Structure 1
Amino acid sequence: MALSHQVSDISMLPVDLSLKLISGVYEIKKDKEGDFNKSVVLTLPFDKTAVDFTKSLVGVYWLNEQTHSWVQLDDLQIDQANGTASGSVKHFTKFAVLVSDKKAVNSDGTSLIDIKGHWAEANIRELVKQGAINGYSDNSFNPDNKITRAEFVTVIVKALNLKAQGGKSFEDTSTHWAKGAISIAAVLGVVNGYTEQSFGPDDFITREQMAAIIIRAAQMEPLGKNIDFVDSSSVSDWARSALATAIAKGLVNGSEDHTVKPQANTTRAEAVAVILRALALKK
């Protein structure tokens, strides 16, 4: 059970010159300690008259008490007409809607503050430039953060410019921020749900799930089922052909210990690299 109230004294909250507060600050607590098993969507109202949407970026932020700084939530959705902002979170703390200057985020990714020297730096800049993925309004990209099934599908749909008539929704995506992209991918047979009703949009995507989606999305012919890695026995039967094809095509690489880690979660940087390799093969 969650309990919330608006914080009346905000004088001790952190001040970031690049961010402007345009809502009340809300503290939300639950009756048990610890993070949630799955993300929940938090929606807050904000003063839309205080925002020039042509010049500014609106986001929902949570307060990191340890670093005394505001951190943007994932999966942002902004309803300009109704003046509400939503994002996903796995824990409760203090939350607020903040606005930043749009010009701070460059379309080629050159302003991203946490990718310089990263192994995927060039790939990230390229996919940001293509408009398939974005950094956050605080100029971070969080390349080593895990990526969800919904996020990965959304980037795939944008990167490959996938379109479809009609739609397919699952019970757990009908009100989800990524329902449009998931629907397109499902209609095209690019993604499957766990069941007819369940897609698990906020689950972190595994490497074998990623391989299956990218092979279908790029319409690559299967190349057998042989996977020559020491942990090949941990590959799910349904994913074996797709993962074998992704490895053979150079989309997915193994580790130095000769494992391919099919059940491991994929990071944002890994997802970007795999998608760009697939785009290069299609060309």
Structure 2
Amino acid sequence: MTISVVLPSSPYVTGTIVVPVKRAEQVPVRIELRATPSAVAVGGAVSVTGTVYDGDDLPVPGVAVELAAASGSVDAAAAITDANGGFSAIFNAPSAAGEATITAAVTADPSVKETITVSVHENVQVPVRIELQATPSSVTAGGEASVSGVVYDGDDLPVPGVEVEFAASSGSLKTARTVTDENGRFGTAFTAPSAAGEATITAALTAYPDVTSAIKVSVAKAEQVPARIEMQATPSSVWIGDEATVTGTVTDRDRQPVSGVAVELAASSGSMQTAKAITDGNGRFSVRFTAPSIAGEATITASLTAHPSVTGLVKVAVNERSDGGNPDGGTPVTPPAKPDEPNENPDKPDVPPTGRDFADIAGHWAQASIVEAEKKGIITGYPDGSFRPDRTVTRAEFAVMLVKALKLQKEASNLSFKDADRIGQWARTAVAQAVSMGLIQGDGSDNFRPDAPLTRSEMAVMLARALKLAPEAVSAGFADDRDIPAWAVGAAAELKKLGIMQGKGGNGFFPKDVTTRAETVAVLLRMLAAMEKE
């Protein structure tokens, strides 16, 4: 520090001195010590972490700390605090049950110390499997993914205090090993390599090297430039005032999905649930469109906020309600076609003769399932003899298929949904029976939304209820677990265990994806097979 003196009457008369100022030395005064978990089986491992603070409660870096255990052992007897004043070690519990005391003391001042106690019990759980997942399952080069997992024993109970070692075929991991917490959980961070490709992450138990699990993380090019938006509306034809789900995928020039992109949406008529959306880990976005009160055609456009020249559009036909007439006095517009809706004339069945294949399923992956479901009376087709396997299924249609599959005979209850008048006569009895059995419910606004496309999450919940399962899992074990709504996670987990609903590409559940008629048939047959095994 420099100090100068000047005489006001004689400014040219001055004097200067320099005073050296040293940085105040931090003096450690206390240690905060933690053990995770605080209880462990004999021979188990515990993660010991701590922080050294000075008198102003500021962390002190570069301090030597000595660690000791009254019983058991510590993998490192000495440690140096990092830039945040932190240090860590692994404590290995002794072979006898009891309490183990762990002490950490500052080497330069042993009076600055802290002690914690770890409970050691004899109830030894033997780990048999690891459930591992990465979120997201696809990242760009140099990006990060969260790797987490749970260790279970033979009774499917989580195992705490187990040391887990990590390895990656490419890229890097934040930690090479860790210890499971009280709930058997563990985690680390994975940094993707600089080159695109696929990285395999492996977790293995130190004490049980044969217990391993591996997952793959897809690594895309670092700089993805969005090039196109592909859009669709489900259904593509609606009544005035009804809703349609508008979905889209943003991809780059290599047709790879681009995640985290802001999308702006607008409709030429009607309204959008939101004017903006962000693409998920698979480059997808989804919004609700409400049709206008006037029949015609609505054009929905999407453009990227950062790349306004990248656009997409989809058209939705808006029809007058058949029971409401045309306000202009003209002939009412023909309503959109509905799969599995009976003809007005009961003498003309909608189905082809029993046992015959539909006209459009030859070579389809679900051909055998479709034929079997038709024989069981679960599904019907169209008057032209087609089945249209790749057409999406609405909530009302699924209710009909589910009730037919279960052969429900229970007396139907009264429908109290606010939009009950929108449920077609062809589906009212089935919906009412499903409600009576507790298989389906309305949304938060007490609407059933019969014409809304059925999502995979909704289907999972309805199937779980039909199977009388009691879902309790908080993780379904899919790569996109974080995208599964909390109300559907347990159902998705149970159906995965039973082999009824498996992951799609890259072990993704794709909870918001709509279901097709072919997918629905396959799932319902698996449900019936599971019920026969009980």
1:239 aligns with: 488
2:498 aligns with: 249
1:159 aligns with: 405
Question: Aligned pair 1:265/2:514, yes or no?
Answer: yes
State the one-letter code of the partner of 1:227: A
User: Is residue 473–residue 493 contact of structure 2 (8 Å, CA) maintained in 1?
Assistant: yes
How far apart are residue 76 of structure 1 and its match? 2.9
Structure 2: how far apart are the matches of 1:31 and 1:281? 46
The equivalent position to 2:453 in structure 1, one of 204, 212, 226, is 204
The equivalent position to 1:148 in structure 2, one of 358, 375, 394, is 394
Provide the identity percentage. 32
How far apart are residue 200 of structure 1 and its match? 0.7
What SS does structure 1 have at the residue aligned with 2:341?
strand
More helix by share: 1
The equivalent position to 2:295 in structure 1, one of 18, 27, 30, is 30
2:466 aligns with: 217
1:182 aligns with: 431
2:420 aligns with: 173
How far apart are residue 104 of structure 1 and its match? 8.1
The equivalent position to 1:138 in structure 2, one of 384, 407, 411, is 384
Q: Unaligned stretches of 5+ in structure 1?
A: 3-28, 44-59, 63-70, 82-98
More strand by share: 2
2:478 aligns with: 229
Question: Aligned pair 1:193/2:193, yes or no?
Answer: no
Q: Deviations over 1:230-250 (max 9, x none)?
A: 211001011111111111111
Structure 2: how far apart are the matches of 1:224 and 1:190? 20
Structure 1: how far apart are the matches of 2:527 and 2:472? 15
Structure 2: how far apart are the matches of 1:222 and 1:269? 26
Structure 1: how far apart are the matches of 2:418 and 2:389? 30
| Structure possessing the higher radius of gyration over alpha carbons | 2
- RMSD of aligned alpha carbons: 3.2
Structure 2: how far apart are the matches of 1:116 and 1:267? 17
How far apart are residue 152 of structure 1 and its match? 0.5
How far apart are residue 163 of structure 1 and its match? 2.9
How far apart are residue 223 of structure 1 and its match? 6.1
Could you tell me the TM-score, scaled by structure 2's length?
0.37
Question: Aligned pair 1:274/2:523, yes or no?
Answer: yes
Task: Identify the structure with bigger relative contact order (alpha carbons < 8 Å, sequence gap 6+).
Answer: 1
State the one-letter code of the partner of 2:491: A
State the one-letter code of the partner of 2:513: A
User: Is residue 231–residue 259 contact of structure 1 (8 Å, CA) maintained in 2?
Assistant: yes
Structure 2: how far apart are the matches of 1:158 and 1:41? 28
Q: Deviations over 1:219-270 (max 9, x none)?
A: 2343633222221100101111111111111110112322110111011111
Q: 1:223 to 1:107 in 2, by over 3 A?
A: farther
Structure 1: how far apart are the matches of 2:370 and 2:503? 20
